[in-house]
Amino acid sequence: MTAGHRTAPTALGALYPFLYDGAPAPDPTADLVASTEAKLRDTARLRADVLTEQAAALRRCAATLAAALHRGARLYAFGNGGSATDAQACADLFADPPVPGPSRPATALGGDGAVLSALANDVGVEAVFARQLAALARPGDIAVGFSTSGNSPNLVAAFRQARRIGMVTVGFAGGDGGALARERLDHLFVVRSPSVHRVQEAQTTACHVLWELTTAGAAGSGPEHRG
């Protein structure tokens, strides 16, 4: 028996054939690379689908938001978990744009831990966004909610409160739209995928496009910001 070719013990040979028959060891990164490439293709497809199929809806929503912001509206964004970070990013896009341009009044309702924990403890998790809208928002303001399933009870409650106030309502959901698809939202963008990660990636793209279209529509309008 040579160093390059050894007889495998029966049990070990079945588990680690490359140690005994001279076969090359498997590449541990091959499956990871293949999986990553598949996910990237799926992400690109979903983003293209959303922007193609919902292009007209995005333009209509952007026109509505541009007009509302011109009248002095404030944007309130909200979501849970990873969607809370998407809501924060959405608010940041409008309040602190990455390129030179007008700053629009925008707030993420998940940003204040003290308010969230107080409402969750004293009232209930379902009220953490609705109660903030009731206290802060005015008719004509904008409510933007993010959910990967569309079934978050506190988003449903928030949008119902937003309608009572007279706000513009904009939802981002995944799957078949869930409960949000049954609500009377002014604008709803659904990423039709069962994957939470792919949904959030496509929602991020759609939100950026919506911001760009809104900014273009409001360019030079000189909005009257509320103090």
pLDDT tens column, 150-208: 999 999 999 999 999 999 999 999 999 999 999 999 999 999 888 888 888 889 999 99
Q: Do the beta carbons of residue 115 and residue 129 sit within 8 Å?
A: no
Structure tokens at 40: 């990237």
Instruction: Region of 178 please: left (phi>0), alpha (psi -120 to 50) or beta.
Output: left
DSSP string, 93-144: HHHS-SSSS----EEETTS-HHHHHHHHHHT-GGGTTHHHHHHH--TT-EEE
Lowest mean pLDDT, pick from 23-27, 41-45, 177-181, 183-187: 23-27
Query: pTM of the full predicted structure?
Result: 0.78
pLDDT value at residue 161 = 98
Q: How far apart are CA 80 and CA 88, in angstroms?
A: 11
pLDDT of residue 36: 64
Candidates 160, 153, 103, 113; CA nearest to 137 is 160
What gap in Å lies between CA 134 and CA 43, rounded to an integer? 36
CA distance 208 to 160: 25
pLDDT band at 21 (very low <50, low <70, confident <90, very high): low
Token pair, residue 74, equals 């404030």
The pair of three-digit structure tokens given for residue 175, joined into one six-digit string: 């799957």
